[in-house]
Amino acid sequence: MPDESRHILAAGRFLEMVKEGRWEYVRRVGSAGAVAIIAVTPQRELLIVEQQRVPLGRPCLELPAGLAGDGDDPDEAFELAARRELEEETGYRASEMRRLWRVCTSPGLTGEVIDLYHATGLTRTGEGGGTAHEGEDITVHRVPLDDADRWLAQRVDAGDAIDVKVYTAVALAQAHGW
């Protein structure tokens, strides 16, 4: 049964702006959710991707991530999406992919959830960089965990944005000795 208090204020190809009661929020169209991956190489390097983010107006450092169902299969399982996105964006394949949590990214703005995965047994298969999707221009960074805090601070000083999930990944990987 449709909710009579819900109205679509604006709709684009990928997003809808919705008003429900007093709330206004954004809803993603055509995706069940997103995945993000904490991937640490055997050399204890955290894989971080960098790409220009138009809403921020500058580069952003992020975990490899993407949408479930963004490939050829609209019903793609989240773990398969995590495996696909890791390899597309970083050029690494994981022998094991373990789901850690399902998290809300900005619950006052969107109902989107992200499944956060820990990838292990990494093997390099290519350059990465997101070349599978036209318009993606991703730089891959392999950041030694022992130096990650300093490296991130330098990047902030240089004007880069850092996604909060990167700090979560660094803290988890350092605490668990990944």
Q: Tell me the pLDDT tens digit for each residue of 22-72.
A: 999 999 988 888 999 999 999 999 999 999 999 999 999 999 999 998 767
Where do the domains of the chain lie, and which CATH numbers do they carry?
1-30 (no CATH), 35-176 (3.90.79.10)
Q: For residues 178 and 172, what is the distance between their CA atoms, to the nearest angstrom?
A: 8
Beta-carbon contacts of residue 61 (< 8 Å; ≥ 6 apart): 48, 49, 50, 141, 152, 155, 160, 161, 162, 163, 166
Residue 1: pLDDT band (50, 70, 90) is: very low
127 contacts 91 by C-beta, under 8 angstroms: yes
pTM of whole model > 0.75?
yes
For the segment 126-168, what is each residue's pLDDT rounded down to a tens digit? 988 876 556 678 999 999 999 999 999 999 999 999 999 999 9
